[in-house]
Chain A
Amino acid sequence: MTIMIDVRGVEKSFTLHNQGGASFSVLEGVQLQVVAGECVVLHGQSGAGKSTLLKALYANYAVSSGSIVLRDGNQVVDITTALPRRILALRERTVGYVSQFLRVIPRIPTLQVVMQPLLDLGEDEAVCEAKARDLLSRLNVPERLWSLSPSTFSGGEQQRVNIARGFIVDYPILLLDEPTASLDAANRQVVVQLINEAKVRGAAVVGIFHDEDVREAVADRLVDIRAL
């Protein structure tokens, strides 16, 4: 089994310099290995550090110590020490991150927003568009909205556009930060299918899901994250 994510001895603390220098430790001695085709669900109470760990796996948060090694084709990269441009290259092809929030420039149409990550890899425009259309249809985003910017959409619609964008590239590593929060049952089911398809093609998935039905449908393993 190919190890895609290898976390060793990760610690993370935050120091709030402008609030009296308050310092608190969120993660300590975290070990986690995730192999290709496996979905690990981070489990624990609100505030326990699940999101912090997920963000560290995307190098969005800097860890205080420890290593996070990700497999990139036939190379491995420790993202706690890698250069910014190495991390950006990883994010382009290897690591995808889907949150519940969409961040876009106001005037770009939905279809473009969804297909952009695949276009950036140099994929043929027709291929990108076909895949974007397929994902938007599956996620029940009405076709009449596709030519409009998602900035005025409802929260749920934006969220589904964001999921479509997150699944447009077949990332070998997928990080999912509550992508199904506040989706209805039918759309949650679509996301479950997308995750299971990703697993079948060999993706290593780490996710946070509050809905028990989603968790049960996708998780191979639960990892407990305990508040310190």
Chain B
Amino acid sequence: MSNTAQTPWQDIEPLLSVQQLSKFYAPGKGCGDVSFDLYPGEVLGIVGESGSGKSTLLNSLSARLAPDAGKVIYRSEQFGELDLYAGEESLRRQLMRSEWGIVHQHAADGLRMNVSAGANIGERLMAIGERHYGDIRARAEQWLQAVEIDSNRIDDKPAQFSGGMQQRLQIARNLVTHPRLIFMDEPTGGLDVSVQARLLDLLRTLVAQLGLSVIIVTHDLAVARLLAHRLMVMRRGEVVESGLTDQVLDDPQHPYTQLLVSSILQN
């Protein structure tokens, strides 16, 4: 048992490479010197309390907030290897419509509330060039069903949906274009516990079935444990610990992670 050969593992290239990324609004406000690789099919959880820089990092990673320093390299299906902030704005927007998805904490930020559920889903398809009305409607119906919304609600507006349904619609809208990388910001944040379980189960199933890569920000360690393969723990803008999800949660090394884990109420 000598040579620790890992050849097949070295062949796969990361989908996203983040190199010494920093974005500060003020000292301690933002995120600093973050580096990691995200591989295809991997779900990375970013955890930490409010104000720890999780959302700033997510915004910088998803091309919505230019960093002060550092690089985000994305290996695109259409465009090859891209240095996100070195390229054109139009390119980033195109990625966001096609290869990427963003699930916001508040569904209203990710949906158009005054157009129908079907149009919310169809809009993403039209943005990548689909024109056939019948096809678009059929795909919208399929995706409503996939996220467990009755397809006869296709002409209703999201405003008439419950919070959990809105969140599922937002997920359908994102997944319809078969993105490779999804960014999620507290996707179960404002939902009742009973609704959360259903959404988590759905998310986990879809992520596994579609082989999606996901970066998910959450302050809920139970959500992180359920969805994430590995975790980064953030505090005051810095990554203080990272690794395999259950190892970080069951055998935390850093004082802050220990505090975070020991603060959960057991039931």
Contacts and interface: CB of A to CB of B under 8 A. Distances in A.
A6 B200 CA distance: 37
B210 to A, nearest CB: 14
A120 B6 CA distance: 22
A20 B250 CA distance: 20
B4 A85 contact: no
B35 interface: no
A51 to B, nearest CB: 11
Nearest to A77: B4
Contacts of A60: 246-247, 250-251
A6 B31 CA distance: 40
A78 B246 contact: no
A63 to B, nearest CB: 10
Nearest to B249: A60
A120 B198 CA distance: 20
For chain B, give the interface size range.
20 to 34
Contacts of A3: 1
Contact of A86 (B6, B198, B204, B258): B6
Interface in A100-156: 105-108, 120
Interface of A: 3, 6, 15-18, 55, 59-62, 69, 71, 75-78, 82-88, 105-108, 120
Contact of A75 (B6, B42, B253): B6
B9 A76 contact: no
B244 A105 contact: no
A107 B226 CA distance: 14
A62 B201 contact: no
28 contacts: A6-B1, A15-B253, A16-B258, A17-B258, A18-B258, A18-B262, A55-B251, A59-B247, A60-B247, A62-B243, A62-B251, A69-B4, A71-B1, A75-B4, A76-B1, A77-B4, A78-B4, A84-B230, A84-B244, A84-B245, A85-B42, A85-B229, A87-B244, A88-B244, A105-B200, A105-B201, A107-B198, A108-B201
Nearest to A151: B197
Interface centre among B1, B5, B201, B253 (most CB of A within 10 A): B1
Q: Is the interface of A mostly helix, strand, loop or mixed?
A: mixed
B24 interface: no
B250 A105 contact: no
B262 A75 contact: no
Interface of B: 1-6, 9, 39, 42, 197-198, 200-201, 204, 208, 226, 229-230, 243-247, 250-251, 253-255, 258-259, 262
A75 B5 contact: yes
Nearest to A81: B4
Interface centre among B39, B200, B251, B262 (most CB of A within 10 A): B251
B250 A61 contact: yes
A9 B200 CA distance: 40
Contact of A85 (B39, B201, B226): B39
B18 to A, nearest CB: 16
Contacts of A105: 197, 200-201, 204, 226
A105 B5 CA distance: 36
A71 B4 CA distance: 10
A61 B247 CA distance: 6
Interface centre among B2, B246, B262 (most CB of A within 10 A): B246
A18 B246 CA distance: 20
Given A6-B1, A17-B258, A71-B1, A120 B244 contact: no
Contacts of B39: 85
A62 B226 contact: no
Nearest to A79: B244
